[in-house]
Structure 1
Amino acid sequence: MTEAATAQLAFDGSGVDGSLFTAVTDFARDTKWLNTPLELWTNLGLGVFAVLMVLGWWNARRRGTRETTVALAAPVAVVAAFAAAEVVKKIVGEVRPCRSMPHAYIVDACPAPSDYAFPSGHTTVAAATVAALFLLDRRLSAITALFAVVEGFTRVYVGAHYPHDVLGSTLLALPVAYLTSLALRRWATPLVASLSTGALRPLLAGEPVAAPKHAR
């Protein structure tokens, strides 16, 4: 199938919240000094979520096998959410804003017609990380949520997605990642406990934090 035929068959999401999309992209046009930093962040910022998961794992090693299992499950949960988003993306087949609204101010390069918009893959990763870390560390999850909000905004700012793409990916990623983490915490904890007594102990079981000594 040609690219032109693919574009014609795709769903046009501009009728959902096109006006809100253009309000954000007009803001991008008026803040061109932010274009390059936010375009860099929208892609490179995904590395922040990887760092947050590594931080969660590092701290979990000192808290016990159950917490370590949840930390190790986090990237698996993110991958599961991303895979689900890719399936939905193929089913919906929503054409990118740069093709359905070509006169809008678009910062990001326009991808191929077969690279659909709904849901946002970047936001899926961000929201899934929030949910995956929720069972591990509420404070770390809250920090991750702040970065996720920024990630979602930048996807609209650069013109890569409509607001409903970002919202849809969030509503999809949160339950998928949370339930995946919950299931792995239940079923994989015995495996992690077994592995933590062998050669993998440095990766799975750090030294516990010593309790403070009370003065007599």
Structure 2
Amino acid sequence: MTTESARVTSTRPAIPVLIALGLMALSLPAFIVREQLYTAVTAAAGSSPALTLLAVFFADAALLLLVLFTAGLAVWSWFRDRAAFARLVLGGLGVILAYAASSTLKLILTEARPCQSIHVAIAETCPPHGDWSWPSNHSVLAAAFATACALAIVRLRWYLAATALLIAVARVGVGAHYPHDVLFGLGLGMLVVLVVFNFLPRLVRRLPGTARIAQQAGGH
């Protein structure tokens, strides 16, 4: 067992799961004061050209860079650390399920974008009607990719968490989402990946010929 695998083994999922649930719970009070929070964040993002540029970068390009980083990590771990690769694959399955859950919730809840009803200056063009707001897909994907990579390489967790958080805040800053959209999205992305990572190996172990991969992925 590698040192990284040992660190995953010794880390119980309770704390990250509680963080994910806490973010989702925070979306409720954020929903109550959604207009005030949205106006404050967009105003802060537009208070200087530098902050506006940062908001636009993290709202759009940063997620793509995170995806590319994940792809690079997959290539590196395939050649250098197969246990990390197995964990990343499990996390990747969670990313797919998290996105599917987010897209389904959008179609069920059909929350309109804040920029369609709250008239403030925003850094990007407001999405059209039918491009729903809750939860934020960008935030779901940012948290899901960050969690998957952190499970693969634990020492990167704080850098990845900061990146996901900045992407979520930026989505509010450019005017695309309410704060409760991104809070719930971050929690959802984390939670789905963690659930898949911690429970799928138990099912996979029962399939012929997959016990070793499941053992590496689960870190046991």
Interval of TM-score (by shorter of Structure 1 and Structure 2): 0.7 to 0.9
Q: Which residue of 2 aligns with 1:41?
A: 58
**Residues matched between the structures, number:** 180
* CA distance in 1 between partners of 2:85 and 2:49 (Å): 44
Q: Which residue of 2 aligns with 1:141?
A: 157
Q: Which runs of 5+ in 2 are unaligned?
A: 1-29, 214-220
The answer to whether the Cα contact below 8 Å between 1:108 and 1:159 also exists between their aligned partners in 2 is yes
| 2:109 matches 1:109 | no
Q: Which residue of 2 aligns with 1:63?
A: 81
SS in 2 for 1:88: helix
The CA deviation at 1:28 is: 2.4
Q: Which residue of 1 aligns with 2:145?
A: 129
Q: Which residue of 1 aligns with 2:134?
A: 118
Instruction: Please report the TM-score for the alignment, with normalisation by the length of structure 1.
Output: 0.73
* CA distance in 2 between partners of 1:16 and 1:130 (Å): 28
Deviates more, 1:26-35 or 1:146-155: 26-35
The CA deviation at 1:73 is: 2.9
Sequence identity percentage: 30
The CA deviation at 1:123 is: 0.6
* CA distance in 1 between partners of 2:84 and 2:100 (Å): 25
Q: Which residue of 2 aligns with 1:201?
A: none
Deviations 1:19-55 (A, max 9, x none): 1111111112321343244324311211222133234
Q: Which residue of 1 aligns with 2:8?
A: none
**Structure with a larger share of its residues in helix:** 2
Q: Which residue of 2 aligns with 1:162?
A: 178
* CA distance in 2 between partners of 1:121 and 1:140 (Å): 23
Q: Which runs of 5+ in 1 are unaligned?
A: 1-12, 195-216
CA 1:21–1:82 in 2, change beyond 3 Å: closer, same or farther? Answer: same
* CA distance in 1 between partners of 2:211 and 2:76 (Å): 16
* CA distance in 2 between partners of 1:167 and 1:120 (Å): 8
The answer to whether the Cα contact below 8 Å between 1:82 and 1:125 also exists between their aligned partners in 2 is yes
CA 1:182–1:52 in 2, change beyond 3 Å: closer, same or farther? Answer: farther
Within the candidate set 102, 113, 123, 1:96 is matched to: 113
The answer to whether the Cα contact below 8 Å between 2:98 and 2:140 also exists between their aligned partners in 1 is yes
SS in 1 for 2:81: coil
SS in 1 for 2:152: coil
SS in 2 for 1:45: helix
| 2:37 matches 1:20 | yes
The answer to whether the Cα contact below 8 Å between 2:58 and 2:166 also exists between their aligned partners in 1 is no
* CA distance in 1 between partners of 2:211 and 2:65 (Å): 26
Deviates more, 1:147-156 or 1:71-80: 71-80
User: Which has the bigger relative contact order, CA under 8 A and spacing at least 6?
Assistant: 2
RMSD in angstroms over aligned alpha carbons?
2.6
The answer to whether the Cα contact below 8 Å between 1:94 and 1:118 also exists between their aligned partners in 2 is yes
The answer to whether the Cα contact below 8 Å between 1:53 and 1:129 also exists between their aligned partners in 2 is yes
SS in 2 for 1:95: coil
* CA distance in 2 between partners of 1:35 and 1:63 (Å): 39
The code of the aligned residue for 1:163 comes to: P
* CA distance in 1 between partners of 2:43 and 2:62 (Å): 23
Q: Which residue of 2 aligns with 1:213?
A: none
CA 1:184–1:133 in 2, change beyond 3 Å: closer, same or farther? Answer: farther
SS in 2 for 1:161: coil
